[in-house]
């Protein structure tokens, strides 16, 4: 893969995380930029066909698991990228560690093996439980390019040593039997949560992120405030993070949660949801 050409087409999923969307100006230094919903396979294939006619290399970019609980068809996207001699950049931040052998993550769990056209981005700050992130490639040239040009390798302070220690400790857990036990506990908790919380939106059962629909922004703000007073820290997601009048309460479930934690939250959340429906 050559990195000095402007003959790339960056095809970005509209639901990709904002941390990727804001890089448009940088990406356009290397090629054109298209933003479409990846759920619309017809539109995606049309963009890929156009890139082929223009003799450009397409790079599909999306989250594997979305920050609001959605998911992309990883196998389909990887296959489409390969069909048009392109690459698939998967942001697996919310999929890292939650599933797969040694916590390999949502993307590799579904693909079962590393594909040559895959660029995999993982977070070490979420389910991995430490600090930082990682980028994985199938070739040394790509890794060398990152080391040579990434600003955090050049203009940066010293490594965060407690974070490095946490990474090493978490890595040991990932390579042990404890990892499988933690994953099983996580998915037991997810299932338990789904059975007890009403008005829930489940887009991908494997995701530990759940959206509880509230609708109007003031209802989401009120619910978040009241939950916090009762000892539960959740996020109220509103426009422009989600569509207008589609506000949600965003909940992240952990293997560290107890059944009592989940049951108590469900009781309080269901009570607030019922109250909000009356006004």
Reported as a single tens digit per residue, the pLDDT across 195-227 is 999 888 788 899 999 999 999 999 999 999 999
DSSP structure string for 108-165: HHHHSS--TTEEEEEESSSTT-SS-EEEE-SSHHHHHHHHHH-HHHHS-----HHHHH
Q: Residue 152: what pLDDT?
A: 75
Q: Is 73 in contact with 90 (CB distance < 8 Å)?
A: no
Q: Do 19 and 145 lie in a common domain? A: yes
Q: Residue 4: what pLDDT?
A: 46
pLDDT at 277 over 80: no
Q: Mean pLDDT across the chain, nearest whole number?
A: 91
Q: Do 116 and 210 lie in a common domain? A: no
- Helix axis angle for 41-53 and 74-83, nearest 10°, is 20
Q: Do 98 and 189 lie in a common domain? A: no
Q: Is 59 in contact with 137 (CB distance < 8 Å)?
A: no
Which residue among 113, 145, 171 closes a domain? 171
In a domain, residue 1? The reply is: no
pLDDT at 2 over 60: no
- Helix axis angle for 177-196 and 161-174, nearest 10°, is 90
In a domain, residue 2? The reply is: no
Q: Is 65 in contact with 71 (CB distance < 8 Å)?
A: yes
* Structure tokens that stand for 180 in this block: 């499988």
Instruction: Classify burial at 214, counting beta carbons within 10 Å of its beta carbon; exposed 0-12, middle 13-18, buried 19 or more.
Output: buried
Q: Residue 106: what pLDDT?
A: 96
In a domain, residue 141? The reply is: yes
pTM check: above 0.95: no
Reported as a single tens digit per residue, the pLDDT across 165-196 is 999 999 999 999 999 999 999 999 999 999 99
Q: Residue 3: what pLDDT?
A: 47
Residue 254 lies in domain: 177-276
Over residues 118-143, mean pLDDT: 92
In a domain, residue 57? The reply is: yes
Which residue among 140, 171, 202 closes a domain? 171
| CA dist., res. 15 & res. 21, Å (int) | 9
């Amino acid at each position: 893969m050559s990195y000095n050409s402007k003959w790339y087409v960056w095809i970005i999923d509209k639901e990709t995380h904002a941390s990727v969307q804001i890089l448009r100006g940088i990406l356009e230094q290397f090629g054109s930029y298209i933003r479409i919903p990846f759920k619309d396979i017809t539109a995606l294939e049309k963009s890929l066909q156009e890139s082929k006619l223009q003799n450009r290399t397409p790079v599909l970019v999306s989250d594997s698991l979305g920050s609001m609980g959605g998911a992309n068809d990883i196998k389909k996207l990887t296959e489409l990228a390969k069909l048009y001699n392109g690459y698939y950049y998967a942001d697996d931040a919310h999929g890292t560690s939650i599933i797969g052998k040694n916590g390999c993550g949502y993307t590799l769990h579904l693909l079962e093996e590393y594909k040559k056209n895959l660029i995999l981005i993982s977070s070490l700050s979420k389910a991995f439980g430490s600090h930082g992130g990682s980028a994985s490639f199938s070739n040394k040239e790509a890794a060398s390019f990152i080391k040579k040009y990434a600003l955090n390798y050049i203009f940066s302070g010293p490594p965060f040593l407690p974070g490095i220690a946490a990474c090493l400790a978490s890595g040991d857990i990932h390579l042990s039997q404890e990892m499988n036990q933690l994953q099983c506990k996580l998915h037991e908790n997810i299932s338990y949560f789904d059975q007890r919380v009403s008005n829930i939106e489940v887009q991908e059962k494997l995701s530990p992120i759940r959206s509880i629909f509230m609708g109007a922004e003031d209802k989401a703000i009120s619910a978040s405030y009241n939950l916090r007073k009762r000892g539960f820290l959740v996020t109220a997601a509103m426009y422009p993070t989600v569509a207008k009048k589609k506000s949600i309460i965003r909940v992240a479930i952990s293997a560290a949660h107890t059944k009592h934690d989940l049951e108590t939250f469900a009781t309080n959340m269901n009570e607030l949801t019922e109250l909000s429906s009356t006004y």
